[in-house]
Amino acid sequence: PLDLDNIQGDLLSGLPKKTQTYFFFAITNVAKFRHHLHKLVPYIKTVAGVLKDRDAIDHHKKNKHPGLVPMTGVNISFSHKGFVKLGIDDSSLAPLGDEDPFKTGQQVDAVTNLGDPKKSDGKPDWDSHFLEDIHGLILISGESHLSVEKKELEIELLFGVHTLEASIKKIIAIRGDVRPGAESGHEHFGFLDGISNPAIIGFDKNPDPGPVPVQPGVLLTGQNGDNKADGTPNTRAPWATDGSFLAFRYLFQQVPEFDEFLKKNPIAKDGNGNVLTPEAGSDLLGARMVGRWKSGAPIDLAPFKDDPVLAADPKRNNDFFFQGEINSQLRCPFAAHVRKTNPRNDLEAPPSGIAPIPIESRRIMRRGIQFGPELTKHENTSGKTEHGRGLLFACYQSSIPNGFQFLQQSWANNDKFPPFETQPEDPGLDPLIGQGVRAMSGLDPLAEQKVLAMPQFIIPKGGEYFFAPSIKGLKDTIAA
């Protein structure tokens, strides 16, 4: 069984949050840092701690108490540069050696593999904070700004920030917030997010119907399923087990521009030939780019009309496989964001004569939170972004080359993926996160071969790869 007291809480359960601060730091004094980190360990919320918090939240709701239960959750992770600074041998975390994205860091990976736009100096066109050497990331989540700000101050004090005792320097702290009111749980384009994450064998006791549960090692280092690309198990140093890699991306979203695009390109008729109003045609276009309606209902099950009841039913809203759709984009375009990033039966049950490709090792655990303000009236009328907003994208996996990097590079940025279709048209890039010349087919259900070009709606402005160690790893090795 998994040791839930040894695993950081965000990995398996997700820290409960209405708001969350991402605190990026550099280590300035190694000896002091170890001492301070030792004092931080009791603050760290484990999976067991999160389960207790969730019980408290359920109890609060059941008894119809007003407001939210005050709580915070702290987790910590380190970049390769951080381990180097600390003098810790992290080679077992980078089985690909000098090619390993954890070792090169995301700044290099962004321009060599992820396809991020770059500047004339060869560096990615990022917020300057992410061009600095980031050694670690502290996540602080909670139910209110007050709780999280208080906790952040406490942690800064603990690390002596702004004093002679300082062991770290704050590079940047970014606050994310769940969106207000009815938009809670929806990302800035308006789509419900956080529906599909892998269920974990031995941890999720009654997983909802959907993709098959994955071995714990898809997420956790040193567990069954923590494999190299060739399927053989990774060998991790003892301190580096029960941890997970955190791929962070600072992604800005062009929301008014996205809305304008939908408005300008409404789909004329649904797949049954019914004429759509311009609004309904724009909604269908958005749903076909994402693969779900804004409500969260998957278009594989509700192809031409939103179904809010389906969307709200956890027993049904992730139970689809693009079945019977091989070689067809009628219900869902091949390049739709959720089909690109989790192709389900496109690879696992391909057309007869082609060997299935298991995608267990490609599953990622998505966390993350929205940042930035709601759209202003002026942005709405001008159709132009005036305030930065988007997603603090974060996902966990036991291997970045198998997980995030693969999804971005080999799937989202690859116009020929998924590969087994015999249509004359290519699927195209992921319309949201694909880097390159963004165009996709399949948006018009009655003219699948028609290709629609689109601008960049999501702009990467930073990121790094981190490793979130176990509590034992923190106590006995990193802080020792």
Task: Look at strands 458-468 and 244-253 and give their pairing.
Answer: antiparallel
Least Å from the CB of residue 479 to ligand N7H? 32
Q: Rounded to whole angstroms, how far apart are CA atoms 387 and 226? A: 41
Cβ closer to ligand N7H: 249 or 472? Answer: 249
Cβ neighbours around 16 below 10 Å, total: 21
Least Å from the CB of residue 390 to ligand N7H? 5
Q: Rounded to whole angstroms, how far apart are CA atoms 329 and 423? A: 10
Interface residues with ligand N7H (CB under 6 A)?
A: 187, 189, 191, 193-196, 249, 251, 253, 290, 292, 337-338, 341-342, 364, 366, 390-391, 393, 404, 407-408, 412, 432-433, 458
Q: What angle separates helix 145-158 from helix 30-40, to the nearest 10 degrees?
A: 140
Cβ closer to ligand N7H: 39 or 315? Answer: 315
Q: Rounded to whole angstroms, how far apart are CA atoms 20 and 72? A: 9
Least Å from the CB of residue 438 to ligand N7H? 14
Least Å from the CB of residue 193 to ligand N7H? 5
Least Å from the CB of residue 405 to ligand N7H? 8
Task: Look at strands 136-142 and 72-78 and give their pairing.
Answer: antiparallel
Active-site residues, by number, are 193
Least Å from the CB of residue 433 to ligand N7H? 5
Cβ closer to ligand N7H: 443 or 458? Answer: 458
Mention every residue, 6+ apart, whose C-beta is less than 8 A from residue 441: 329, 333, 334, 335, 423, 425, 426, 427, 428, 448, 449, 450, 451, 452
Cβ closer to ligand N7H: 149 or 257? Answer: 257
Q: In terms of residues, how long is the chain?
A: 480
Q: Rounded to whole angstroms, how far apart are CA atoms 246 and 174? A: 16
Single-letter amino acid, residue 406: F
Neighbour-count burial of 66, counting CB atoms closer than 10 A to its CB (0-12 exposed, 13-18 middle, 19+ buried):
exposed
* C-alpha closest to that of 249 among 109, 357, 50, 65: 109
